[in-house]
Amino acid sequence: MKDKTRDQYAVMGNPVSHSKSPFIHSEFARQTGQQLDYTAICVEPGHLSEAVSQFYHNHGKGLNITVPFKQDAWQLASQRSERAQRAGAVNTLVLLSETAIYGDTTDGIGLVTDLTQNHGIQIQPQKILILGAGGAVRGVLEPLLQGQLQQLVIANRTVAKATELADDFAELGAVSGCGFPDLNGEKFDLVINGTSASLAGELPPLPENLLTADACVYDMMYGAKPTVFMRWGMHQGAARCLDGLGMLVEQAAESFEIWRGVRPRTEEVIRALRASMK
Ligand code: NDP
């Protein structure tokens, strides 16, 4: 039974019952000897503020925020990290008091840690294509642009969202926005899928020959089987086709450290999660 006097953490979203975060954070707590509980809370649209306030009064210390509330959570935060300020969305809240709420975004650092440390892929002078211009992509642009990349192209179904996003981050590096048809004739070393198309088993309309000889494709989505985007990468001859399970665990580790001041080990949690999905 849950000990209500222990520090409480949760992920809030809608839907949220499928979330792997309670498993991940329970593993982190066990591994680091931290006394806490972590649950998943489904919140009705428009009711995030009252849900957070109620959670705070029940020993709530921190929250992860997922679809569709990342922008609402950004509004709710009375203080924000620099990276969250630019991203316009937060996935991590620290509840300092009922009204003092600190917001941060850990998706980007989660992606970069997964790419560089778990998969040994360096963000070196190369051309990177990122598909989608929603909350997840907004959160990963700053850490990607901090790498040594040559060019970052954002392609989106709604072209205006891609170009606006590129404009918002232009001072950080060589970034441009376009639509999928504009990719004809271009080649990339790394293609990251940040669209939610995979959720519906769909693929953005990508041209042939988009990949360089040793290109890597990375889907922020994950599943027991390769996603439709990973299968596209295999078909196109990508050297490596990766999913976003490692990103999920790495962004969680970053949140855990923000809350508890301890860095959990991620490798064994990624392995356990992967095994549980089979
Ligand atoms: P949003 O709803 O904010 O954005 C969705 C994006 O996908 C938009 O750019 C939208 O284009 C595009 N899109 C949706 N359907 C299609 C389609 N059929 N064809 C082409 N483009 C499409 O979602 P998020 O940014 O929050 O999430 C995106 C993905 O990233 C999800 O799959 C999510 O699960 C994953 N994710 C993974 C994380 C991890 O830790 N592994 C962390 C965060 C997210 P348009 O603008 O034209 O509507």
pLDDT digit string, tens, across residues 21-61: 999 999 999 999 999 999 999 999 999 999 999 999 999 99
Q: How many helices (H) and strands (E) does the chain have?
A: 10, 12
Report pLDDT for 69: 94
Separation of alpha carbons 43 and 25, rounded Å: 20
Separation of alpha carbons 278 and 275, rounded Å: 5
Instruction: Quote the ligand 1 centre to 267 CA distance (angstroms).
Output: 26
All residues at 6 or more sequence positions from 140 whose CB lies less than 8 Å from its CB, including other chains: 107, 108, 111, 112, 130, 192, 194
197 close to ligand 1 (CB < 6 Angstrom): yes
Report pLDDT for 172: 93
103 close to ligand 1 (CB < 6 Angstrom): no
Report pLDDT for 125: 80
Pocket test for ligand 1, best of 195, 219, 232 (most atoms within 8 A of CB): 195
Instruction: Quote the ligand 1 centre to 257 CA distance (angstroms).
Output: 26
Report pLDDT for 2: 62
Report pLDDT for 122: 87
Q: Whose CA is nearest to atom 37 of ligand 1?
A: 220
Pocket test for ligand 1, best of 196, 250, 269 (most atoms within 8 A of CB): 196
Report pLDDT for 147: 84
135 close to ligand 1 (CB < 6 Angstrom): yes
Separation of alpha carbons 208 and 212, rounded Å: 11
Report pLDDT for 98: 85
Active site residues: 70
227 close to ligand 1 (CB < 6 Angstrom): no
247 close to ligand 1 (CB < 6 Angstrom): yes
Asked if 140 and 194 count as a contact pair (C-beta separation under 8 A), the reply is yes
Asked if 66 and 16 count as a contact pair (C-beta separation under 8 A), the reply is yes
Low-confidence ranges of the chain (pLDDT < 50): none
User: What is the tens place of the pLDDT at every residue in 148-186?
Assistant: 889 999 999 999 999 999 999 999 999 999 999 999 999
202 close to ligand 1 (CB < 6 Angstrom): yes
115 close to ligand 1 (CB < 6 Angstrom): no
Report pLDDT for 278: 81
Report pLDDT for 149: 86
CA trace torsion 86, 90, 95, 101 (10° rounding): 40
199 Cα nearest atom in ligand 1: 32
Q: To 10 degrees, what angle do helices 267-277 and 21-32 make? A: 140
Q: Whose CA is nearest to atom 15 of ligand 1?
A: 197
